[in-house]
Chain A
Amino acid sequence: MKPRAMIIHASGTNRDHDVAWALELAGARPEIVHINAIRDGECRLLDYQMMVLPGGFSYGDDLGAGKLWAIALRNRLGRDLEKFIDIGRPVIGICNGFQALVKSGLLPSLHGSSNQQTTLTRNESGKFECRWVDLEPNVAANSFWTKDLNEPIHCPVAHGEGRFVTDGDTLTAIEDQGLVALRYRITGPRYPSNPNGSANDIAGIINPDGNILGLMPHPEDHIVPAQHPGRHRGKTNGSGLPLFENGVEHASLM
């Protein structure tokens, strides 16, 4: 039985279909569900084995990237969301979804706190940027998401507010507890390998239980060889897919 993945569509999310395809290839049954349908009781989060917050510009990012979505998630999913997380089901937030996870306090959730502890803010370049990056997965992280990801993930970033920022103590705690899941791999100068100026080149983090992953880049846009920018030079992997396969494999146990 393929696990069901709920992709939460809020007004303005736009990589819903991209991630749906990735999950399909990874062996899940993805469904794109508008957050209103959850509010109205038409769908229930706990009927799904995986939750996905896709990229986009939820509510236009008008009050800060992911901010209103974070509020709506807390408000509309409430206890179901807490339970979903507590029982260890996989949650992934990509780009705008990562921003919402951070602003809702679901990530990094150090010391069990539900307050916002970190943020993702305007890129150091001051600009939205779309370019391909290499990500170094942290296989030592306590998470099924990064299990056995021994190869770098090559995939695009596309964001204006992806700079991971926090205070010194929080950053130390995140590092010490092994919550960094993905880092930008630096080849040559730090920019543009690290495209946004994130602290410690952090591209993605997990919660201490390891079931919530948030990341800025878009592995869902590199799941088949045709998407590889080096394809005309003989490069053909779809290195974004294994991450989703890890999540789906775990979801199937739920």
Chain B
Amino acid sequence: MNYCVEVATKPGFRDTRTDDLKDQIELLGIPGVDSVDIADRYYLSGPLSPETLDHLTASLLADSVIETARSFPLDKDHAVSGAGTYTVDVVLHPGVTDSPAESLLAGIAEIGLNGVEQAATGRRYTLHGTALQQEHVERIAAELLANDVIQTYYVGEPAPPPFTVTATAVPATNEIVLQGLDHNQLVALSAARRLSLDGDEMQAIQAYFAQQGRPATELELETLAQTWSEHCVHKTFRAMITYTGPPPDATGPIETTTVDSILDEHIRAATEAVDKPWVRSAFVDDAGIVALDDTTDLAFKVETHNHPSALEPFGGANTGVGGVVRDVIGVSARPIANTDILCFGPQDTSFDELPEGVHHPKRIADGVIAGIEDYGNKMGIPTVNGAVIYDSGYTANPLVFCGCLGALPTGSHPTAPQPDDRVVVLGGRTGRDGLRGATFSSMEADHTTSDLSGSAVQIGHPIHEKQALEVIINARDERLYNAITDCGAGGLSSSVGEMAEELGAIVHLERVPLKYPGLAPWEIWLSEAQERMVIAVPDKNLERLAEIAAALDVEMTVLGKFTGDGILRIDYNGSTVGEIECEFLHNGLPRQHLTAEWRPPEVQARRLQLPMEPTTALLALLADPNIRSKEDIVRRYDHEVQGGTVVKPFVGIAQAGPSDAAVVTPLDVHRQAGVVPGAALAVGVNPAYGTLDPYRMAWATVDEAVRNVVAVGADPDRISILDNFSWGNPRIPDRLGSLVRCTQGCYDAAVAYGTPFISGKDSLNNEYTGIDGRKHTIPGTLVISSLGIVPDVTNTVTSDLKGVGHSLYIVGATGDHLGGSALAGLVEFEGGSAPAPVPAAITGYRALHEAIASGLVAACHDVSEGGISVSAAEMAIGGGCGLTISLRDVPGDDDDTTKAFSESLGRLLVEIRPENTASFEELMTGYPTAAIGETTDDAMIQIKSSDGSPFIVVEVTAVTAAWRSVGGPR
């Protein structure tokens, strides 16, 4: 018998969820909805008496103060359709993670109730409006209430209970005959099975199994496809590339050269060239590791989760955070901070402009932000830094970069499994979720992708991950395991496969704990079900590990063991379903040979003529979605948990001014007496420069990331960086060409700044083909995340002006770099030059750091989007006092518009108290630095032209209102 318990808000109490929903319906342009009611529904099956149902409802489901509940047999359920009222039931597809249902079953067990066999959750929306039409309700349901990737909706009819359907047992394994297939047939086979392998790769697999003298199994073929996917093995970054393009300064002749792996030649080579002794581990593990001090290391990783976030924004971003947090747990570290960089289409995009199959950018943004909030907050990790960019290039392909910083005792991360160590999986159960995610995310998308790849998207369960983390930290401290990795893309196939690379392993798939029966062996092996870690544990430690896991409510299973014979063998109920030599699995992938080409765009090297008053331009820039305060987003993330956030996302008198970087310190370090070191986290991203020159974009991005952490007090000689590339299809030569040119810039900049890359990730094939055949690609987007060590957290600086009568200095020279600038975007100016590299910037940063460390600097703010004028305004917003600046005194170019708005690299604005100006100037000798103004008590921003006339005059309250978008557009 099936039952439903429906919980609704009591009359007289407000359900705040409905306010938000009504706003969204309005934005959708659907008239006639007067009110909405939301009720949570719990579906139960089993022989349940009315008393049992009442007890269960009262104890577990309804908040007696503000909610009412009713329960009824499901065959008595009725829905409403017409006459001004429509019901919409929304339920998850069977098999999608339903954590409230899991918790409900746990709660039922806790209160000792018997008889409940299955539980599932759903929601009923009741829409009221006298003029409401069925078609409107259908549209609201499809656009706002349900996402067909994970949910089904029912308008005017009751949803059937979404219990998991248990399939019957599946055949053990299928064999796939590759022998005799020609190149084209192999390509067709790859396409039909969505393996994402090309003809050469398929031929290598064919040759391997010919040599073995047997057909491949389905599981083996899928394993190879995952392991060899772009997502897992970064084929493009390892490819041999024939590149045609101009030299770095773009003025010389076009030449054709060979790049023997951009990963080796442009990224790793930079790390080797700068050769920093404090780098503990780079590029070899789930995350890069550097020293914080003598006893503590920091691990940092930034991942992309673009494709899943496009299809199911909440789940995609949610599991994006979960995944990168697992990367950090995968190097035995406790996560201490999260970052996120988000690229969305403009929020006011009209629905008519959307390609078929693409969610509206606002829906994507709402879902992504909620997904990040949910995972980070629930795991108790402060989300402290990030960026949000809006550009029409991201409408069809949003980008979601999730970062995580962790801390671990120096030398506590073991990396070598031993023969006979057990293969142990810890954490969540395995279901049919996330199948083939690695190959899916290595493909281009079109309007059918959501139908075909829905199963590639998962819903996270942060509490499972939190508890698995606690088990790992305990096990680490007791030294119970010899190696560890997270279970991410490719599932067990990838994690066990990687760990067994040297030794080989045998795994018994029937031991894997399942969410529901009926999974084929290859599904168990490939499932990307979240919240699982794999560790290599000596037999003698299993008992202790099991105790720890049980005490923390974490499931632990011994799947098999590492062997030493170099073969990855997968058994299912006693028969072998896969057997691949590790050598072939990890080194059998044929090298790709790709062609790349980059030509400078034909743009006019002309001057930008400002078509409006400079004050108007400043106010418009401050209110620009890419510049304005992101407080409405950032405050939804807990940035205080763990008590170590010593420079916060917002600073200043009202905690509303921008922060250049966050500074966090691990709780265990913070609670020690004496000098406390910290980690500064910041990010650089500016795709607009890339359309002019990806080489310059790379320099600008590295500079911005470095400059931001220097601004708060990080030591310029203790900064490491991470690279994340989101690009289009690398088999299209111009896409790959701009990528190669960008990585050239990454190498040159990293070497010039002395900043090693310690980890990175690329996400390619961010292309979407609409139903009309039109291809939508993204602007090639480089994100550089910086991790700087602050030697003493009491010597940090924030950007807010601290007092009246202080001097303002510009550090760095200003050139004519309005190409790709925020001002260029505002006035739709095409052309000009993107900011040129400033190889000497690091010398200026070193001098500035000495000034900060000596306590000479009252405030410091980086100069980037919008130039000096925006930067100065932001300092005034934080400090609540006024300032004057004379453009005549700004060193560099001689045009006032350029001086006020140019985005040249290597610059910061610095506030110095009168008693410190002489010492400051002395320290900055040798790097262009000039006093350009002072802070005032009149709460006005006054920027004077070179001839002394007023250039910008505006009240601080006005720039604050613009930047915080008070009363303005959202």
A residues near B (Cβ < 8 Å) are 11-12, 14-15, 17-18, 21, 24, 34, 36-37, 55-57, 59-60, 62-64, 67-68, 71-72, 75, 103, 115-119, 121-132, 156, 158, 160, 165-167, 218, 220-221, 223-224, 226-227, 229, 231-233
Contact between A68 and B643, CB atoms less than 8 A apart: no
Taking the closest CB of chain A, its distance from the CB of B458, in whole angstroms, is 16
Taking the closest CB of chain B, its distance from the CB of A189, in whole angstroms, is 12
Contact between A63 and B642, CB atoms less than 8 A apart: no
Known: A12-B378, A125-B16. A229 touches B103 (CB 8 A): no
Bound-complex Cα distance A50 to B724 (A) = 48
| A-B interface contact total, Cβ < 8 Å | 163
B356 close to A (CB within 8 Å): no
**Cβ-closest chain A residue relative to B793:** A226
Known: A11-B463, A128-B636, A220-B643. A166 touches B17 (CB 8 A): no
Contact between B643 and A221, CB atoms less than 8 A apart: yes
Contact between B107 and A71, CB atoms less than 8 A apart: yes
B461 close to A (CB within 8 Å): yes
Bound-complex Cα distance A57 to B460 (A) = 15
* Number of residues of chain B lying within 8 A (CB) of chain A: 65
Q: Which residues of B contact A117 (CB under 8 A)?
A: 65
Query: A128, A131, A220: which contacts B373 (Cβ < 8 A)?
Result: A128
Select the residue from A24, A60, A221 with max chain B CB neighbours within 10 A: A60
Bound-complex Cα distance A233 to B104 (A) = 48
Bound-complex Cα distance A129 to B467 (A) = 24
Contact between B638 and A158, CB atoms less than 8 A apart: yes
Contact between B64 and A116, CB atoms less than 8 A apart: yes
B111 close to A (CB within 8 Å): yes
Query: A75, A130, A167: which contacts B637 (Cβ < 8 A)?
Result: A130
Bound-complex Cα distance A222 to B395 (A) = 41
Query: B60, B373, B380, B797: which contacts A232 (Cβ < 8 A)?
Result: B797
Q: Which residues of A contact B19 (CB under 8 A)?
A: 126
> Which chain B residues in 641-686 approach chain A with CB under 8 Å?
641-643, 645-648, 651-653, 655, 667, 670-671, 676
Known: A129-B635, A232-B651. A119 touches B65 (CB 8 A): yes
Contact between A129 and B636, CB atoms less than 8 A apart: yes
Q: Which residues of A contact B273 (CB under 8 A)?
A: none
Contact between A36 and B551, CB atoms less than 8 A apart: yes
Contact between A34 and B640, CB atoms less than 8 A apart: no
30 contacts between A and B (CB under 8 A): A11-B553, A12-B466, A14-B378, A14-B641, A15-B380, A15-B641, A60-B99, A60-B461, A62-B102, A67-B60, A67-B63, A68-B106, A116-B64, A116-B65, A117-B65, A119-B63, A121-B63, A122-B16, A122-B17, A126-B20, A127-B635, A127-B636, A128-B377, A129-B635, A130-B636, A158-B638, A158-B641, A221-B640, A226-B670, A233-B652
Q: Which residues of B contact A37 (CB under 8 A)?
A: 551
Bound-complex Cα distance A37 to B111 (A) = 18
Q: Which residues of A contact B103 (CB under 8 A)?
A: 59-60, 62-63, 68
Q: Which residues of A contact B15 (CB under 8 A)?
A: 122
Taking the closest CB of chain A, its distance from the CB of B167, in whole angstroms, is 26
Bound-complex Cα distance A67 to B42 (A) = 16
Contact between B651 and A229, CB atoms less than 8 A apart: yes
Q: Which residues of A contact B647 (CB under 8 A)?
A: 232
Select the residue from A131, A221, A226 with max chain B CB neighbours within 10 A: A226
B residues near A (Cβ < 8 Å) are 13-17, 19-20, 59-61, 63-66, 99-100, 102-104, 106-107, 110-111, 373, 377-380, 461-463, 466-467, 550-553, 635-643, 645-648, 651-653, 655, 667, 670-671, 676, 793-794, 796-798, 800, 802
Bound-complex Cα distance A218 to B645 (A) = 14
Bound-complex Cα distance A115 to B671 (A) = 40
Bound-complex Cα distance A14 to B640 (A) = 12
Give 18 A-B pairs besides A59-B103, A62-B99, A128-B637 with Cβ atoms closer than 8 angstroms. Answer: A11-B466, A15-B641, A17-B642, A18-B641, A18-B667, A21-B671, A34-B552, A57-B377, A68-B103, A72-B110, A116-B64, A118-B65, A122-B17, A124-B16, A158-B638, A165-B13, A166-B65, A232-B647
Taking the closest CB of chain B, its distance from the CB of A215, in whole angstroms, is 15
Contact between B798 and A232, CB atoms less than 8 A apart: yes
Contact between B106 and A57, CB atoms less than 8 A apart: no
Contact between A126 and B793, CB atoms less than 8 A apart: no
Select the residue from A18, A63, A128, A131 with max chain B CB neighbours within 10 A: A63
**Cβ-closest chain B residue relative to A15:** B641
Q: Which residues of A contact B652 (CB under 8 A)?
A: 233
Contact between B802 and A233, CB atoms less than 8 A apart: yes
Query: A14, A36, A123: which contacts B379 (Cβ < 8 A)?
Result: A14
Contact between B100 and A130, CB atoms less than 8 A apart: no
Known: A57-B463, A128-B373, A167-B65. A68 touches B802 (CB 8 A): no
Bound-complex Cα distance A153 to B671 (A) = 21
Bound-complex Cα distance A224 to B794 (A) = 12
Q: Which residues of B contact A158 (CB under 8 A)?
A: 377, 638, 640-641
Bound-complex Cα distance A183 to B655 (A) = 21
Contact between B17 and A126, CB atoms less than 8 A apart: yes
Contact between B655 and A131, CB atoms less than 8 A apart: yes
Contact between B794 and A59, CB atoms less than 8 A apart: no
Closest 5 CB pairs between A and B?
Answer: A14-B380, A62-B103, A126-B16, A119-B65, A62-B100
Query: A63, A72, A130, A223: which contacts B640 (Cβ < 8 A)?
Result: A130
Q: Which residues of A contact B670 (CB under 8 A)?
A: 21, 224, 226
Bound-complex Cα distance A221 to B638 (A) = 12
Contact between A226 and B646, CB atoms less than 8 A apart: yes
Contact between B16 and A63, CB atoms less than 8 A apart: no
Known: A71-B110, A128-B373, A221-B640. A119 touches B66 (CB 8 A): yes
Bound-complex Cα distance A55 to B104 (A) = 21
Taking the closest CB of chain B, its distance from the CB of A33, in whole angstroms, is 10
Contact between B676 and A226, CB atoms less than 8 A apart: yes
Bound-complex Cα distance A24 to B667 (A) = 13
Query: A14, A15, A123, A226: which contacts B16 (Cβ < 8 A)?
Result: A123
Bound-complex Cα distance A129 to B638 (A) = 7
